[in-house]
Amino acid sequence: MKIFSIKQILVIFVLVFSVIYSLPTFYSEVPSWLTSMNAKKMNLGLDLKGGVHFLMEVDLDEVVKNKSKKLSNDIRSQLRKEKIRYKKYSHQNNNIYIEFNDNSFYERTEDLIKTSYQNTFDINKININEMEITISEDALNELRIAAIKQNTTTLRNRVNELGVAEPIVQQSGKTRIVVELPGIKDTTRAKDIIGATATLEFKMVDEDSDAYAAEDSNQISFNSKLYYDDAGQPVLLKRNVILTGENIVDASSGFDRNSRPSVNITLDGPGAKRFSNTTDDNIGKLMAVLFIESKSEQRIINGESKRVTRKYEKIISLATIQERLSKSFQITGLDSPKQARDLALYLRAGSMAAPMYIIEERTIGPSLGADNIEKGKISVIIGLILVLVFMVYYYRVFGLFANSALIINILIIISIMSLIPGATLTLPGIAGIVLTVGMAVDANVLIFERIKEEIKNGSTPLASIELGYKKAFSTIADANITTLIASIILFIFGTGPIKGFAVTLSIGVVSSMFTAIIVTRVLANLLYENKTNLKTRKLNI
């Protein structure tokens, strides 16, 4: 009796819990007494709420190209630092070719690379004085994986800035990312925000060289690069980068003392230290803020349509360093408050590791989403009614037990979906609920048929109930565990709608085991356990 009383308490608790936390889903406006208990509506996915779906392709070749260029510059700087002389140094097709003055420099370089860049490069010996350096395949794979992860994280941060409720941002395959924004209306702005690869670089102006002369002669020092300001005037900037967007931990848009758009920047520890030292050493000199954005474009090359990535660089600020700057400072010279807001958003969310472009875009209107919800409701209601009628007709009173458990099961699914952070109901998720309706009574069918068999074998009604639940348990557990394993695999490897189906199915499998085994057993015990004439009376099954 003690075991049953504990079960009864558990069932009452689950019933109250599921009713309270499933209620908000049926309200157009959630009452305050429900919100005070952290009860909220179930989050609806893109296909139910309407919104926009993007499939983004990540340009990993550009990642490798940029990383290779950076590593090449690093190696060149180290060779100069170590006073290793070479006749020729070239960087082509992501490979570095170096021809040395003699073999001793070759050997020193080989040792330097193996020590400083462990497992990053493969060194091919062309002859005793010449080597070819290539990025190893393991390093390339790590680079690609890191780029996808960084882009996914950055996209997720940017989407959160848009204020979208329960967005989906996840990797799809090796080079693609899926972005779903339920309820979004301004698709143009969403596309601009998630597709932008903007970042900043802070560089000193090369005031020792004449920018106009460099432009006319096209002869520019290796340590400098020619840019143009907003007025179209040439400006020489030193190649050495003081700071990048990666050093920025916070950014907010605002206005300066003259009511011009600005961005307030906060740096991390290493960035603040480096920026402080540089500005302290260069008081009275010009520093530029370079806005860099990569855009993917479709072009006709040799008669074929190909997608190429172009990098756009623009000087957004040229200012004289008046004093030592440190962790917090302000960028001015922006064209508009919108540019300031967007730039602050990009910097807060982080920079993209690789350019991306949209290869698929789908927009689902709110009316279509409402239609999907209505059809989903109808399918659940029809399926539920048919199951309820069948169970009552075929199993009588025990059919009523199963029906009660089934309704509690649906309430449990809704309440858990409302409570789990990030859980979103999709159209396939509704299909998962419909499937759960059938699977929930399937367990009871096994139990009830086992009870019938025990009665035919001559067992008493109470013994038949006990044996029916006991003997059917292992079969029910095996069937539900295998289904649960399949749904977990779907969730791990699936995307978007498939995950939605897997979530509702997983919750439904676990809750149906509870309702089919515990709830119906409690109801049967309540009705039959204390019947004095049950030994001579038949079960209504």
Between 265 and 497, the more confident residue is: 265
Give yes or no for a contact between 202 and 267, defined as CB atoms under 8 angstroms apart: no
Q: What is the pLDDT at residue 1?
A: 43
| pLDDT class of 253 with cuts at 50, 70, 90 | confident
Q: What is the pLDDT at residue 436?
A: 83
Q: What is the pLDDT at residue 2?
A: 46
In 121-260, DSSP assigns E strands to 121-127, 130-135, 168-172, 176-182, 199-205, 224-228, 234-244, 248-255
Report phi then psi at 82, rounded to 5: -85, 0
Supply 301's token pair: 């090359």
> In terms of CATH architecture, what is 196-362?
2-Layer Sandwich (3.30)
CATH 1.20.1640.10 in the chain, residue ranges: 2-50+365-528
Q: What is the pLDDT at residue 485?
A: 93
Q: How many CA atoms lie within 13 A of 317 on its CB side?
A: 20
Integer Cα distance of 204 and 199 in angstroms: 17
**Least confident segment among 226-235, 466-475, 529-538:** 529-538
pLDDT, mean of residues 500-519 = 89
CA-angle at 497, arms to 514 and 148, nearest 5°: 115
* % of the chain beyond a pLDDT of 70: 89
CATH 3.30.1360.200 in the chain, residue ranges: 196-362
In 375-512, DSSP assigns E strands to 424-425
Q: Is the pLDDT of residue 409 over 70?
A: yes
Tell me: the pLDDT tens digits for 205-221? Answer: 998 888 888 888 877 87
CATH 3.90.1070 in the chain, residue ranges: 61-140
CA 20 to chain CA centroid, Å, is 31
> In terms of CATH architecture, what is 61-140?
Alpha-Beta Complex (3.90)
Q: Is the pLDDT of residue 263 over 50?
A: yes
Q: What is the pLDDT at residue 367?
A: 65
Integer Cα distance of 284 and 278 in angstroms: 12
Q: What is the pLDDT at residue 166?
A: 63
Residue among 153, 157, 155, 97 at smallest CA distance from 127? 97
Supply 48's token pair: 């139910």
| pLDDT class of 174 with cuts at 50, 70, 90 | confident
CA-angle at 293, arms to 290 and 294, nearest 5°: 140
Q: What is the pLDDT at residue 164?
A: 64
Tell me: the pLDDT tens digits for 425-443? Answer: 877 888 888 888 777 888 8
Q: Kindly report the CATH class assigned to 2-50+365-528.
A: mainly alpha
Tell me: the pLDDT tens digits for 51-68? Answer: 888 888 888 887 888 788
Between 91 and 29, the more confident residue is: 91
Q: Is the pLDDT of residue 422 over 70?
A: no
> Is the pTM for the entire model greater than 0.75?
no
Q: Is the pLDDT of residue 535 over 70?
A: no
Give yes or no for a contact between 328 and 315, defined as CB atoms under 8 angstroms apart: no
Mean pLDDT for the chain overall:
81
Q: Is the pLDDT of residue 5 over 80?
A: no
